[in-house]
Amino acid sequence: MLASGQASREAHENLYHFGDGACIIAGEDIIGSVAELPDGLSRIHITAPWEDMVRLAVWKSDPARGDIFLLLTSAGITVDQLHPFRESGISDIFPWLYYGRRLDVLRKICRVAKTNAEKHIRSKAAHVYCHLTSEATKSIVASSL
């Protein structure tokens, strides 16, 4: 498992019980950590909060607002719905989606992140599963499964 941080690792462990030593903490660069995963892995769980999941989904360490808006419109959000966020940061959008019960959109973003991760890891036969975590609830709120 690759976890974005300790909180994401703990959220994942509440549902999935991997053995000790099965977790790698990504640190500052989630994209670089995915690319550096060792070859020969058959299954990889990536667990991350909103900001890192968006980075994986657009495959940029510092996504621009346009990248995020394009991702969200392809996931089913209309341009009119995004209008209030035209001056907002990336972190302002997650509560709107989560508390607005737009779990379909969050799952689609997890699936896009999964596809990108599978394209960029060394182990081309590996299956990647992405889990979006909430730091507020300390749980997984959406998944690519």
Q: Using CA atoms, how far apart are residues 120 and 143, in angstroms rounded to an integer?
A: 19
Residue 20: both structure tokens together: 């000790």
The string over 14-38, giving b where at least 16 C-beta atoms fall within 10 Å of a residue's C-beta and e elsewhere, is eeeeeeeeebbebeeebbebbeebe
Residue-level pLDDT at 50? 96
129 phi, psi to nearest 5 deg: -125, 125
How many DSSP H helices and E strands does the chain contain? 7, 5
How many CB atoms sit inside 10 A of residue 82's CB? Answer: 17
Strand partners, 140: 133
Q: Using CA atoms, how far apart are residues 28 and 98, in angstroms rounded to an integer?
A: 24
Q: Using CA atoms, how far apart are residues 70 and 87, in angstroms rounded to an integer?
A: 15
Each of the 145 residues of the chain gets a pLDDT tens digit; together they read 888 888 888 888 877 776 666 778 887 899 999 988 888 888 899 999 999 999 999 999 999 999 999 999 999 999 999 999 989 888 999 999 999 999 999 999 999 999 999 998 887 788 999 999 998 888 999 999 8
β-strand pairing of 2-3 with 24-25: parallel
Give CA angle at 73 (69, 74), nearest 5°. Answer: 115
